[in-house]
Amino acid sequence: MARILVIDDNPANLDLMLYLLRAFGHDAVGASNGVAGYEALRDGEYSLVLTDILMPGMDGYEIARRMKADARLVSTPLVAVTALAMAGDRARIDAAGFADYISKPIEPTTFVAQIERHLLPRTQT
Amino acid sequence: MATESTSFSLRDIAGSRFPLLEYAPDATVIVDGGGIIRLVNSQTERLFGYYREELIGHAVEMLIPERHRARHAGERTEYAADPHVRPMGVGLELFGLRKDGREFPVEISLSPIVTREGTFVASAIRDVTERKAFERRLQELNAELESANRAKDQFLASMSHELRTPLNAILGFTGTLLMKLPGPLNAEQERQLQIVRSSAAHLLSLINDIMDLAKIESGKREVTFEPVAIADVVAAVRDSLGSLAAEKGLRFSSDVAGDLAAVTDRRALHQILLNLINNAIKYTESGSVHVGARPVNSGGAPRIAIDVTDTGIGIRTVDLQRLFAAFEQLDPTTTRRFEGTGLGLYLSRSLTELIGGELTVQSTHGAGSTFTLTLPHTHEAL
């Protein structure tokens, strides 16, 4: 069981990811936009962060940039879950320092296993 | 510069010995070593709005906007030291000044004229107002086109994103229900949810096809050429479509030598074969679908041919021509029977062109079809 923060401004997609993570036994916390997500990150301890990329206010790239600049957050794995699918998007996400990139639509049967690979061994139980 | 062969004077040039000068389409101004206008033609009067009597005997700088006069006098001295035929002010925007004070863009070529009275400089001056206006319009049109293209790319990218976002929730929650995470399903609920899932998956593949087409047509589809084992790609397609063939009770076989390889774009080849084999299964009610590959060495660079053969409904000869057009399904009545937009073959042909291949078909109506994808063996053959 790991504590995982999920940031997505689309309520249905946030609901879906939280549901799947909880169904597989994780303590999943949701944030409905980038600003709220970053505040949750500052105030809490998470083993993994999943974030959408395109969000009003603060996007996924900005969250990545701030986490990389923060000594406490720099080693927390950050995974992009995005509906961006153009050729340039993938390269930009790789360059921004995300640990992984999962494209929407997600595959519900493998989604949780895919993100669990990024949990650091000490946080897995 | 003056030599013995110089046998004419400035008067000769002005007179009937050189009518060409007087009626030349360009304004011609002949200036002496001190920059004084000695001779002009009728086009000069028209272009600058002066009578020739107002020009002759005056410094040529009167025809130049005031801000350029000082520099011009300097350049004139330089030219006098080394006179030869050349355009004036290469890379600079040159302007003429009319009597009424209006400026206009000009192009000027210079040439020395050696006469008995000494060396003069002739300037042929052309008004390029219209050409400059055309150039500006062309630049504006190019900028508009570029911004329209950017807008189209932007539209496609956001369209793709916006369509995927709701599909994520549809496919995702259908998936959680079918995984029975919220609880058990009865057989009918499960059957209906599977229909929701396969319809949503179909919608996704259509979105992907349309985005791919848009990328190919705007030149944005990137290709990576690498050695690709044909058998690997065929095996991957068999993995995705094998169950579809089995559900319809079709025999699905392939015969591809393990060492047969081409330098090509793996994703494009996969997409083309997926489309061809998917079509073969879709349009075949009974019998078989077979995939074979063979080297072709007859004439020209060596190529590889991949055949997808089915025992399906086939294609009438009259229909073969419009087979590869976008949004065509041959018999409108079959649209009910075979779902699809008719994008598959059009996309396949576009992808085939992108990787330098050729896509052909042979068919007997009612007996089946063979689609043949011919690929260059190596990238250099492109």
Give residue-wise pLDDT tens across range B289-329: 999 999 988 777 889 999 999 999 888 887 777 777 765 55
pLDDT of residue A123: 46
Alpha-carbon distances, residue B80 vs A46, B30, B35, B121, B122 (angstroms): 82, 13, 10, 8, 12
Return the biggest CA–CA distance within chain A.
37
Query: pTM of the entire structure?
Result: 0.64
Q: Could you tell me if B96 and B125 are in contact, meaning their C-beta atoms sit under 8 angstroms apart?
A: yes
pLDDT of residue B341: 56
Query: What is the ipTM score, two decimals?
Result: 0.89
Q: Does B187 touch chain A (CB under 8 A)?
A: no
pLDDT above 50 for A110: yes
Coil, helix or strand for B347? helix
Q: pLDDT grade, residue B5 (50/70/90)? A: low
Q: Supply the mean pLDDT for chain B.
A: 86
| Shortest alpha-carbon distance between residue B249 and chain A (Å) | 28
Average pLDDT of the residues in A52-60: 94
pLDDT of residue A124: 46
**Helix/strand number for chain A, H first, E second:** 5, 5
Give residue-wise pLDDT tens across range B213-263: 888 877 778 888 999 999 999 999 988 888 889 989 999 999 998 888 999
For A12, nearest residue in chain B (alpha carbons): B169
Give residue-wise pLDDT tens across range A26-47: 999 999 999 999 999 999 999 9
Q: Which residues of A touch B170 (CB under 8 A)?
A: 105
Give residue-wise pLDDT tens across range B55-109: 999 999 999 999 988 888 888 888 877 878 888 777 678 899 999 999 999 999 8
Closest by Cβ to A23, choosing from B165, B167, B181: B181
Q: Does A83 touch chain B (CB under 8 A)?
A: yes
pLDDT above 70 for B332: no
% of residues, chain B, pLDDT over 90: 47
Tokens of B84: 């030869």
Using CB atoms within 10 Å of the CB of residue B267, give its burial: 0 to 12 exposed, 13 to 18 middle, 19+ buried.
middle
